[in-house]
Amino acid sequence: MDRMVEEILKILNINKELPFPDLFIVAITHSSYANENRVESYERLEFLGDALVGLVIAHNAFELFKEINEGELAKIKAIVGSEKVLSEVSKEIGLSKFVLVGKSLSSASEGELDSIYADTFESVMAAVFLNLGFDEAEDMISRFLNEKILEVVEKKLFFDYKTALQEYTQSKFMNLPEYVLIEESGPPHRRNYVFEVRINGEVYGKGYGRSKKEAEQVAAKMAYERLKE
């Protein structure tokens, strides 16, 4: 485990003695692994990290784009703080490969693990905060996410797949897509949703997300790309 902590700190570019290095092991421990091995999961850290990451995104968007109104700022915060973006960042920096999951998730698909990768990013940022304080945690979150904020503002990151799919299915099938909630899980402060999108009764895509809208968008993206092929 000490070796794993060293590797995580290397990814984060932390080169100093820490008061609570074991928090980084907790931060990568999913509840499925924790229950099987009787150790602590990342859920409490993720709760803290969720608030921390959200605050930094909101503050940076507020400072970087002073001409943007409250509604646009809220949209930036929602997109950059979404499961899709945070899981991507977790994978981009190599953090996702350290996540500890139980046997029940050993054969899970990447899409099913994305919510865990996103949670892990937040819990690891909470571990940074508890070890090094707010300023260093803020700097680190900014380093990882400010580019994503810029991409949202420049319209490079977000595409409304639900609208695109609806327009496509109306013209091709003379019908609208149907979104069906098939699974809901997770603690009350952070629910996870799984939606299927169906066209004429046939499943064309499945989406996972931290909100119903996000899961529907992911499902719509899969369906839209499948139809366009």
Catalytic site positions: 50, 122
Q: Are 120 and 12 in contact (CB under 8 A)?
A: no
CA–CA separation, 1 and 192 (whole Å): 29
Angle (CA) 156-162-163 rounded to 5° is: 85
CA–CA separation, 155 and 169 (whole Å): 24
CA–CA separation, 89 and 111 (whole Å): 14
Contacts of 37 (CB under 8 A, 6+ apart): none
Structure tokens given for 39: 């150790």
Structure tokens given for 101: 């999951």
